[in-house]
Structure 1
Amino acid sequence: MSSDPSATELGELLVAASRVFSQQGRARFGEYGLSPARVRLLTTLHRRPGSRMRDLADTLGVSGRAVTPLVDALESDGLIARRADPDDRRAFRLTLTDTGLATIDQIADLQRQVSEEIFSGLPARDRNDLARLLRAFLDTASAREC
């Protein structure tokens, strides 16, 4: 009979599981030229269309200097467009192009595929238990932040 896991062991397991999930996702997304930074920026812009670069940087928790080359590359690839900001002649608003919107669909499909592959070995009951436990963990963590 095994002993109950310590809080430290639970933390280590959570970090290890997150690392495996991220590694498999990065590998799959990398096959399509989608880096984590590109995915985060595109999905954030999808949720917040018309964002200014400064607002996007703040939402992503990075500096404006980190966002600028990424925005330039995504614009060069035809995934996003800069539009003049009607409220500030010096600023631009960013929007997804049709190609960018198609990439969002591709990202969602890849996320689904990776998740299905990772969790396919777990029976439905275990998946439900895992979801319940992770929600409880996040609820507890959120309550401590307040």
Structure 2
Amino acid sequence: MSSGATELGRLLMAAHRAFTQQGRARFGEYGLSPARVRLLTVLHRSPDSRMRDLADALGVSGRAITSVVDALESDGLVERKPDAGDRRAFRLTLTDAGLSAIDRIADLQHRISEEIFSGMSAEDRSDLARLLRAYLDTTRDSDAERPA
């Protein structure tokens, strides 16, 4: 059965929504919002980041990130430190509790993904991964070709 480009777009969006809803619900059972998970994960990959750099990496406003950082700091997961190069800025680091949260998040991501894809055979999972990589490679190629 051949699918047109429009149907492929619709299916990709529907799959994204379903995956996001299932993941959000499962992470929510552990008190983790998508915003918290994303910020902690990005901060783990880029330790000692400025809040502005994290906001840019996450594609959100400085105001939006401040409330998430405030909550994570209140929970003892991140720590603000003055930026030596800019008295108005802060750098963020994960605390020991934040590093433990990263381990829990990685474990949850693995378990949730296993549950979500449990109805697919190993061969179907492999095919889906190959097709998604091909799609992402194609979109990266088109982004590179677009004039700025």
Quick check: TM above 0.5?
yes
**Bin for the TM-score computed over the shorter chain:** over 0.9
Match of 2:110 among 112, 116, 119: 112
1:22-63 Cα deviation digits (max 9, x unpaired):
111000100111111111111111111101111111111111
The corresponding residue for 1:68 is 66
Letter in 2 for 1:25: G
Deviation at 1:89, TM superposition (A): 2.5
Letter in 2 for 1:84: P
> Could you tell me the percent identity over the aligned residues?
72
Match of 1:124 among 122, 125, 136: 122
1:23 aligns with 2:21: yes
CA distance in 1 between partners of 2:88 and 2:128 (Å): 49
What count of residue pairs does the alignment treat as equivalent? 144
Match of 1:93 among 91, 94, 102: 91
The corresponding residue for 1:77 is 75
The corresponding residue for 1:7 is 5
CA distance in 1 between partners of 2:117 and 2:97 (Å): 30
CA distance in 2 between partners of 1:119 and 1:79 (Å): 30
CA distance in 1 between partners of 2:78 and 2:140 (Å): 34
The corresponding residue for 1:42 is 40
Deviation at 1:125, TM superposition (A): 1.1
CA distance in 2 between partners of 1:70 and 1:94 (Å): 12
Structure 2: gaps of 5 or more residues: none
Please state whether the residue corresponding to 2:125 is helix, strand or coil: helix
1:56 aligns with 2:58: no
CA distance in 1 between partners of 2:89 and 2:130 (Å): 44
- Output the TM-score relative to the length of structure 1: 0.95
Q: 4+ residue stretches of structure 1 with deviation over 6 A?
A: none
Please state whether the residue corresponding to 2:71 is helix, strand or coil: helix
The root-mean-square deviation of aligned C-alpha atoms, in Å, is 1.0
Letter in 2 for 1:86: A
1:105-136 Cα deviation digits (max 9, x unpaired):
11111110111011111111111111111111
Letter in 1 for 2:51: M
